[in-house]
Homo-oligomer: A and B are copies of this chain.
Amino acid sequence: MTTDPASAVFAALADPTRRAILARLATGEATVNELAEPFPISVQAISKHLTVLERAGLIVRTREAQWRRCRLDPAPLRTLAEWVEQYRRLWDDRYDTLDDYLRDLKENNRGQAP
């Protein structure tokens, strides 16, 4: 249950419904019902998704009368971006020499067959 933060963030993002919720929240805050409206699943299921996102730190829920207003917290996305940056050189500076490039081209057989 005490999963590390990185795993929690990745797991939260591994569901298309939750990613859609985040995309919606990127355009501004919303209540649970507003978030649930476009989806063909129950409001309870959306509420569960929001709990997952909240535990991953990706959203913040604030109480306001009988509504819970949700807003995106981009901090975990920033650290995620930094994590991915670790691997940047593997696709950026991947080819140190022309030989590397040619060898890779040959191995992967990317050239069009004549």
Distance in angstroms between the alpha carbons of A81 and B26 in the assembled complex: 17
Residue-by-residue, is A1-26 near B (CB-CB < 8 Å gives 1, otherwise 0)?
00010110011011110011011001
**Set of chain B residues within 8 Å of A88, measured between Cβ atoms:** 81
Asked if A45 lies at the interface with its beta carbon under 8 angstroms from chain B, I say no
Q: Which B residues are in CB contact (< 8 Å) with A87?
A: 22, 26, 72, 74, 77
Q: How many copies does the complex hold?
A: 2
Give per-residue flags for A56-92: 1 if the beta carbon is below 8 A from chain B beta carbons, else 0. Answer: 0000000000000000101101101100111110110
Contact indicator B84/A84 (Cβ below 8 Å): yes
| Residues on B with beta carbons closer than 8 Å to the beta carbon of A14 | 7, 10-11, 14
Cβ-based interface call for A40 (8 A): no
Q: How far is the CB of A8 from chain B (nearest CB, A)?
A: 8
Query: A interface vs B, CB < 8 Å?
Result: 4, 6-7, 10-11, 13-16, 19-20, 22-23, 26-28, 72, 74-75, 77-78, 80-81, 84-88, 90-91, 94, 98, 102, 111, 114
